[in-house]
Structures are given as structure tokens and as C-alpha cells.
Chain A
């Protein structure tokens, strides 16, 4: 009896609670209600479904690849059905996204996520989303409430039918009801990913360790290298440029604070702090296109995941006729087209994060000095449930600038544009409804963060680009460093909307953005420094080079440019390198190279390895001798711009003469080239013709839940960090998350994203678009009626 009891108890324990890494075996593997339900979920068919809250019937058409077309009789029903469809295919992803922003990941994955949760609650996405919802417009409220109803309809249906996504079962929890605030949280996640930066902390540490002399020379306000701003002016008269003072000294206590905050942010999971941008968009006026209509191309570059951040759909109702991609969890099309206009976006990269050193005094505990008076910090307390552990208690201190992020050294708070309650959801609804540039531009007036370069093209042949968002301005101070929080250096407002970077119907008929600085040095407002955190500009230069070559352009040309692997930096530097180095097989390979980072190119490997060696040979001695507290690789973009500029026009720069040597750029290039050949010989063998780029450079599309077995790849892939087809890092997990090409002359809309519509790994729609994307091909963006006639289409009739 005792043995039977022990055996039964052991089996029941494992079944109810799991064992070791295994989940609770009973509910998890129950063939009817457990993870096996992913098999049924993967099989999607035509159906008639009843949805609570619908006013009238809604028709949903699913193309053979899952692209979804929703046709509703009312706007309310459109958003409700959108919520239902999103949740039907992406509920776990949506739950992860809201949990991340709300600081509730630990509740389901344990203490491994506690640092992330604490940081998010400190930063305040939840507080901001709640404030935004309380002030939401009637249009946003209609969309948000209806969308949440649709999500909750699906949650209820899934619970009743035992169809919750398998990850819920395996992790042993059920999703809570969706709320409109959750949708705003998801938007907040994206804002944080794209524009919450640590660069002032980096600059403070560089200032302290590298020294004010080199920091001010190497990390300049304006880019040292040649770039291609899309808005060359003229700029508004009368405004005076922001004062760019010399770097101030950073005190020891400020350094301690900066180091603590920097290390804390560096330890967070990837993606919570923005580190750079990699997106492209451009437009060509009808006068420059073969079709006679305007052309538009957009490919936002993001972390590539399965499921993807995007869900492709079209929305049709009395007020909306829009097609493109949405972020699951939000009720709008973020990038796409309607009947008259198309748009896409890249990150504008202006500085939207600032750190303030709060002045405190032992005689005024719990207070800080601001505008000549002692102010009390506000506090907010949170309980963070932790799976398998005790609930964590967190108290967040808030100064007038924002949340306190560290109290080591000197108490430091962070001002972040993403924390300004804004009406970005309403803005996007307005963009979805706009039918001309005036309406498009007016809609974007309320956009705050992240600042985006919104490219525009319409059915009348017009094109435009506007970098909409909040551009913090200051009466004084050095915003690229942490600033005193005593009031004199506070944000005073933003650049007037009419004066932000923008261009409409430029005379040469082309317009482009690729995260580069949008304006020339004459622009009279502060928008950030070269290292904080604009792109070095190589993609923008290459795009501009191709578009400005003359002749008419077609949609096919747009596609070719989206998959262009020509490294603009290489095209500038390699000719100089060839002058510097003696004859060799490696030099021969470079001599015959077209600067394209193709998988089968050995020259691409030599170039990339050389450039890294060149950076190392130029800067690492300074880094080691001065014990710089910032990883050199963290600031490679800024240093690379310097190195490019010096190599092109200042080969005797003092930076090459470390330790009193008489080296020039050419001497250092020779050293770096020798090191390159040595490194590659050891790594890839003696024959340089076999050093193909694909052997060292691969691409992986990572599973969102970090399940390695559900990744796509890694597989050899073309491109690098500088090419329009962006593929930074090794392996690269970042790049074009959506490619769209519009030809208004022919009325064609084509697009692709690397993923699939379903988050279910057992579904054919999990990663069915990835190979097409790898091949540089596109799929037609159909209308709902075209989709209904297409082969393999399924239909859902949603009934009230």
C-alpha cells in the first residue's frame, strides 16, 4: 500500500506540477486540452462564427497564405473583428508584449524576468498608457474598446473550446482579459525599442575615462563624414542654432551614477534599449517613374522574429479602406496604403532620452532641488508576482523630469519622450483615413514618439517625407550628457511642427530616409549629436546614389534597391586601401570587387574583416591605455564615421599617431590589412578565394519565446550593417521586417515579411513567407474582392 501510494503520489505530482524542466504533464500533454491542440489550431477552414458585441455580420477572407481581409458594415465591427483575428493567430505574442511593457513577465516565467519587469515599471510604460487612455479621443476609444472586445471574444472562445495557444498550456497560465490600455502598452513597447537610449550615460563615461579632449574630437555634434540629408533646407529664418558648448567635466559622483545606470541598462534583455536604426524608405515622383505615377518603397528594419512583429491585413468599413501591416495588439494599420495614399516609416533617431542629476541634501530627505525650491519626490508602488518565488515589491520615485533610474553616486532621473502622454493611436487612425498630403501631414501633427520619418506617395503623383515627432529643446545645457536637474536645463518644448524636417514634392523628384541625420549643419535646432544616435549614413548615401542616377525608375528598380547589397563605405575606402597595400591574392580579390556583400564573395569577407581591424588598430590603444569604461564596439558607428572622414580627407590625423608614432592612415591600413589576412587564414584556411561571405555571415530569425528549435536558420545570407539590405551582427537577427513597393501609376502594391501569419509552429503559416523573403521576392497585396476570388481562399462569416 505504501509503495502504491508513493508511486501514485509521484505520478500525480509530475502530472499536476511538472518535474524539473518539464511542465505539468497532465494539462500540458492532454491530447484534448493540452499542447496537442496546436494540431487542430493549425488547420484553418471556412466557418461561421458568432462573436459577442458585433452589430452586424462581418466577412473575413483569408488568402492561401493567411493574409486577412476584413469587411465590416460599421467601424466598430471592423475593430472588433480585427481584435478577434489578431487574437486568433497571435494571442500568445500579444500577451508577451503587454506583459513586457506592464512588468508582468516574472509572473509567468519566474525571476529571470524580474530585472526587466522592475525596469519597465520604473520607466513607466504602464503609467503613460493609463494616462493616454484616460485622455483618448472618441475615435480612439471606439477603436480600442471594440478591439479589446474582439480579443476577449477569442479568449473566451478558446477557453471554452480548449484552443488556447500551446504556450499558455505549457507555461501553465491563462490570458487575462484584454483592455484598451494593453493596446497602448504594445505601442509603448515599440517606442521604447526604437528610441529609449542610454547615449548620455555613454558620453559621460567616455568624457570621464577617454578624456574631454578626445571625446569632444571624436564624438561630435554634427557628422564628420559626408551624408545625404533629405531636407537640405531652406530652414526657418530667425531661429538661432542651439549652443554647442565644449564638453563639461563629469564629476566622480556623476560617473558612478552614469556607470550604474549604464550597466543596468546593458544587462537588460536585448531590445529594451534602442541601439541604432536600420530602416529604409523612399519615394519617386510620377515625373521620374516609368509608369507615370509615384513610386514608394519602405522596409522597416527590426529584430526578426517568429512570429513576426507584423500581421498583414486589409480593413474595410465605412470610414476605413486600408491595407498593410499591423502590430498584433493594436487596432490600426501602421504601414500600408489606402485608396489614395501610401506610407511607410523609418526611425528618425533624434535624441528623445535625457538624464537629469537631481540635487539632494541630507537636510531634505526624500526631496530634490528644482527651480529654487525643495520638491518632494512622488512615489508609486508596485507588486510584481514572481513564478516560483516571493512577490517583489517595487517603489518608483518620480521627479519632475521622470522616474529615478539610479540612486548610486548621484540620484539620476530620466526624461523620455515616450513618457509624454500622447494620442498616437488617434494619429494612426487619422493616417489610415487620409486621402492627400495635407490630411496626412495634419494627422501626424499629434505624433510624439518615437519620431519617425514618414514617407508618402499618392495617386496624384505626389511624394513627401516628414519626420514627425517630439524634438525636445532646451534653454541651456549639454543634452548629450546627463544634465543638472535644478530647472535651468529642463526641456522647454519642441520644434514647431512647420519647422521639423520635411519635404514635399522636391524638385528632383526623389526623397529618401535611412535613419540618417535629416538636415544639414545649417539646421537651426538641436536634434541630437552624430553619435546620439543617427545612422552613419551609408545606406542613405547608397539609396541616394541609386535614385539620383537619372532616368526613369520602376517598381522593379525599387525592389532591386531594397535588396541592394552594395556597401557604400567599402566603395569609398577600398580604393584607398588598394593604394596602401602591396600586391597579393587578397588585394586582387578586392581590386575586382563590386562592393557587394554577396554570399559567394570572398572580397566581402576581406573588406568587413579589414574594417574591423582598421577600427581596432586605430582606437584600441587609446581604449586600453585610458581604461575606457564603455565597450569600444558600442560606439563603433561614431568612430567609424571619424575613421571614414580621416581616411578620405585627413590621413595625418593625430589619432593615427598613438604613442608618438608618425603613422598616417595608410600605415594603419597596412597594419590592419596584414592582421586581416592573418586572421582569415587562421579562421578560413590558406586559400583566400574560399573566404566567402556566407561562411562567416549568417542570418537567423529567432523564435519570439527564445525556443531555439523553433528558429529559422541560421543560414548564410548577404548584406551587412551598411547595405540597404541590412544584415548587421553575426549571426544577423535584425533586418528588413517588411518590404513594400507601391506603384501608383500601375496600381500595384507588393510586399513580403519574413515570417507567417500564425504564431503556431505547427501551422503552415508559421514561417511560410521566409523563403520568399530570402529570395527577394514579393507577394501582391490584394483587395478583399480580389482575395475572395483567389485560389485557396477561406471565408469566415462572423455573426452577431
Chain B
């Protein structure tokens, strides 16, 4: 009798059995996933729903199957405004053919609004789009932890700043002669304390602002101000820092009358302080830092140009990343958190501006930022914030 496996016709049962096993495994995977999973056809009609998705949304499988996903599952922004169809991750996946991630709110069947983190991907077989898969999870707990973290950092920063305010005020009063004349040795000691407390202040400000940006709670107050006046306000202390390294700091503002702008001066001061203090820190002794303000038709442009060590090409892509510090810098200057430029980018984005740079190693770096004259800051309620972050 021929052996079963030698007959081509008898190979089919084994292949069928293997296929069945794989199907059962795939089904078990889809069903047992802890995240909600929904698949759709190429038109967005729901074809499969796993138990986790039903549990998160409060709908039964029967209530979801064959429904058009964007219509059946209502998506909302943090202020309850509906997310436009074009901004839904599944729409973007269909349009771009790429995986998309987003955070927003979904409305459950019982009307409750829950925050979700969503990932959508296209389903492509043999080069043909068959549909999409959306994975999502309830992030209520994560959001609550973030909120508590944010509140804690806010409170801690404020409490840390209170004694620092007294240190700053009294050391400066001593240095400025309010309590009598000091000898040069006393002045030198005071300057050491002032410098250290300024560094601590800077770090607390940075941490606080980053927390606010990341949690979307930064409050922007727009007022008409002169860009040059804002910069002049922060220059004196930066010049003291520069003088310690014999670095010359200059400010060049052409057409002063036209540099009025509606913006948040405290935020701009934070940006300028960060960029100029970086320029001073990363420029060798005897170098130069130039601040150039140019009024343009629809915006004001500020450049901070230094004759410093520059940024190597291989590091330039990451320069605005959180905690990033260039290797050429870390070897020379051990202080620094890698948060300054991440903060600068976040603040300029919040004001509706742009920030970029050019750099050449051993020659220097120029950081630029522009702020629109007719301010388009991204405050809550704007379309750009329609996706909950």
C-alpha cells in the first residue's frame, strides 16, 4: 500500500489541518488582545470587532458590524467638539496608506466620554488594500496619573521658587548696595551665589514649562510689545554670563519702529534666554554672540548667531529632542539637561511661530525663530488642537 504522504492528493489534508491551526491561532490572538481591535473593509465598514473593543465602547458585536466606523464611533476633542472626518486616524490611514497614531475621546454607547489612544494601520494583501485595522485603549488612568504628575510638578516648582525668590532678591540687594558697600571679595562671593541660584531658577522654569506644554495647560497672554524691549529686558544678566568668558554680545535691530508684535512677552523672554545662554555656553572664550531682530512683512525674525563649536551633522536631526545633548558638547561642558531646545521648540510652537537653525562644526551656529504679527497661537479650541494630546 502506498504511503499516505507520497500521494500528492493526500498532502491536502495536512495542509488543510495546518491552515486551520493558523486560522485558530489568529482568531485567538484577535479575540484575546487586551486592546480594542476593529477591522474595516476598504470603505471603512466594520468587519470584525474583538471583545475588548466591545467592552471599551459598550456596544455588542452585532451593533458594530457592518456600520461605518467614523459614524458609529463618535470621536471628540477635549472640549467636546466633534473631530472632523479628515482628522480621524482611520481616514488618514486610508489616504496615506501609513500607520497613524492619535489620542482623542470616544463616546461610549451610554454617552460617557473616554480618552483613548488609537493606532490605525492599512491591511494590504498582495499589494491590494483590503481595509484597515484600528487598535485602541482606554487611557483614563494614564490621563489621571499625568494630571497628578503635572499638578505635583507645578506645586513643587512653585514651592521651590519661593525660597529662591528670597535668595535672588536679598543677594541682589546686597550686591547693589542697599545694605551698604561691599568689598571686592564679598562681591565675588555674592556673584557665586547669584549665579548658582540663577541656574536653579532656570532649571525649575524649564521643568515647569515643559510640564505645562506637554499637558496642554500653558496659558498664553497676548499683548502688543516691542520685540527689542523684550530682549533688552533679559540681556543684562546674559551679558554678565558672557563677560565671565570674555564673549561679546551684541543686539542689532533694524527699523526698531516696526518690531512691535502681539505676543506673550514672558514666553519670548524664556526663548531668548535659552537661546542666548546656550550660545554663550557653547562658544569658546573670546567669541561672539549676535542677536539680530528683523521686522518682516508678516512676522518678526530673531536670529541668535554664535562663533561656537557648532553642531555636527550627525546630531542635527535630534537637536530639538528631549534630553538630547551633542557628543561634542557633552565632552566639553558637563552641565546642561538637554531640555532647553526641546522647551524652545514647544514654546515657539505654542505661539504659532517657527524655529530652526544652521550650523557648522568649529565655525558656529545660528538659531532662528519667527513669530507671526497677527498671532496665531495654538490655544485650546483652535482646530490644530482638535486632537486631544
B partners with A = no
Interface residues of A (CB under 8 A from B): none
Interface residues of B (CB under 8 A from A): none
